[in-house]
Amino acid sequence: MSFPDTIDRHLGREWLKSFGLTTGFVLGLFYIQNLYDNLGDFLKHGAGIVEILKYFLWLTPSLLLPVLPLSVLVSTLISYGTLHRNQEITAMRSTGRGIWGLMRMNLFFGVLLSAGLYLLGSGGLSLSVEKSREIHERLAWKETNLQETGWIQHLTFENSAARRLWVMNRFHQPTNTGYGVYLYRRDEQGQVLERFTSRTAVFDADTDTWTFREGRRVPFNKAGLPKQLDDFKELKLQNIDSPRMLLARQKKIGDLSIKELQDLKKVHAGGGDKESKRYAVRYHQALAGSFNCVLALMVGVPFALGGTRTNPMVGASKAILIFVAFLILSGLSRLLGEQEIIKPIVAGWSPLLAMGLFALYLTGKVR
């Protein structure tokens, strides 16, 4: 049997039409909600139409991860439900086509969507999250004196993997400048090997370099006593923690990109605190979320074909309830992972695997 054949093309065409309309509609709802939340701030800070459009242009890719699985589910229920109600599915099955034969074309599309989300997760999608957030922050700074806004008081950050600890009295985000800076380098037992202090530290993103000014370097011996005091006017340290990493720890975990979650998971490797587990669980759940497109299709088809022809909303309602149950299961799994009851990778992937097995069971029941 050739692929794609006439039936595959027909099913694919009907599904793509529903998918395109649904995606546009759902994206529109996200735009309206975001505009409702932020339009007042944009106007308050003097943002023009070009800046607002630029913000939404950068924001759009980051919306694909929640939007596409929902669009796949709804478009699957609509397209297959309509074909089922019009007796077209019955006619196709009379040719000997099984349930997997009816799904294979659109399952191919679902795999492409999931693979794209997975591959772009720590690339384009993460860039979209971070860039749109940066634009939003800079719009807030636009109409104010830069010396009066964008300050973070008492900034601390620990890189457990590299055994570095940062402490800053103040950090100025618009200029990437820290004031009253302390940087500690420690051994595996946590003993301080070296301490850098400086009046200011400025980060240059182009060279990935911190420039410490008017400071002192203090190495310590095994007894924890200073070996010498080295004063300096200027000291450059390259390829260590950037402000992007230091500030990511200060943000809500739900606002972080996959790349930021991945980086925070790495720097907290070996750390035993609950915060490190939270980053690891969220990272694995974000990766697993890329495959929700395939899951949505596999859940949607059995319910679309299993519902009555007179009231297709019965099957659609059941499918949506199953997806809500999946979200509840994901939340429970995340809680267990953060409490160290199960491993982060298990917490991240087990809801997807469990629901995938259930979807296979539903597919096998379709007659």
Most confident stretch, 93-97, 121-125, 175-179: 175-179
How many Å apart are CA 183 and CA 197, to the nearest integer? 6
pLDDT at 1 over 70: no
pLDDT at 181 over 70: yes
User: Are 62 and 129 in contact, with CB atoms under 8 Å apart?
Assistant: yes
Q: Which pair of structure tokens corresponds to residue 187?
A: 């051994």
Whole-number pLDDT of residue 141: 66
Predicted TM-score of the model (pTM):
0.82
- Please state the rounded mean pLDDT for residues 299-314: 71
pLDDT tens-digit readout, 136-167 = 877 766 655 556 677 889 999 988 888 899 99
pLDDT at 218 over 90: yes
pLDDT at 41 over 80: no
Q: Using H for helix, E for strand and C for coil, what is the string for 38-54?
A: HHHHHHHCCCCHHHHHH
pLDDT at 98 over 80: yes
pLDDT at 310 over 80: no
Task: Tell me phi and psi for residue 148, to 5 degrees.
Answer: -110, -5
Whole-number pLDDT of residue 250: 83
- Please state the rounded mean pLDDT for residues 66-91: 90
The rounded Cα 121 to chain-centroid distance in angstroms is 7
pLDDT at 193 over 80: yes
How many Å apart are CA 274 and CA 196, to the nearest integer? 28
Q: Which pair of structure tokens corresponds to residue 325?
A: 């149950």
pLDDT tens-digit readout, 251-296 = 888 888 888 888 888 887 655 567 778 888 999 999 999 999 999 9
How many Å apart are CA 71 and CA 62, to the nearest integer? 15
Q: Which pair of structure tokens corresponds to residue 190?
A: 């946590």
Whole-number pLDDT of residue 106: 93
Average pLDDT value for the chain = 87
List the Cα angle 325/331/333 in 5-degree steps.
Answer: 100
In this prediction, residue 350 has a pLDDT band, given cuts at 50, 70 and 90, of very high
How many Å apart are CA 38 and CA 51, to the nearest integer? 13
How many Å apart are CA 136 and CA 55, to the nearest integer? 7
pLDDT tens-digit readout, 18-33 = 999 999 999 999 999 9
> Smallest Cα–Cα separation from 284: which of 244, 331, 334?
334
Where in the chain are the domains?
6-135+277-365, 163-240
Please list the residues that pair with 151 across neighbouring strands: 172
Per-residue exposure over 137-166, b if at least 16 CB sit within 10 Å of its own CB, e if not: ebbbeeeeeeeeebeeeebebbbbeebbbb
In this prediction, residue 44 has a pLDDT band, given cuts at 50, 70 and 90, of confident
How many Å apart are CA 225 and CA 183, to the nearest integer? 17
User: Are 249 and 238 in contact, with CB atoms under 8 Å apart?
Assistant: no
How many Å apart are CA 112 and CA 291, to the nearest integer? 10
How many Å apart are CA 291 and CA 299, to the nearest integer? 13
pLDDT tens-digit readout, 219-254 = 999 888 889 899 999 999 998 999 988 988 888 888
Whole-number pLDDT of residue 346: 94
Q: Using H for helix, E for strand and C for coil, what is the string for the chain?
A: CCCCCHHHHHHHHHHHHHHHHHHHHHHHHHHHHHHHHHHHHHHHCCCCHHHHHHHHHHHHHHHHHHHHHHHHHHHHHHHHHHHHHCCHHHHHHCCCCCHHHHHHHHHHHHHHHHHHHHHHCCCHHHHHHHHHHHHHHHHHHHCCCCCCCCEEEEEEEEECCCCEEEEEEEEECCCCEEEEEEEEEECCCCCEEEEEEEEEEEEECCCCEEEEEEEEEEEECCCCCECCCEEEEEEEEECCCCHHHHHHCCCCHHHCCHHHHHHHHHHCCCCCCHHHHHHHHHHHHHHHHCCHHHHHHHHHHHHHHHCCCCCCHHHHHHHHHHHHHHHHHHHHHHHHHHCCCCCHHHHHHHHHHHHHHHHHHHHHHCC
User: Are 102 and 301 in contact, with CB atoms under 8 Å apart?
Assistant: yes
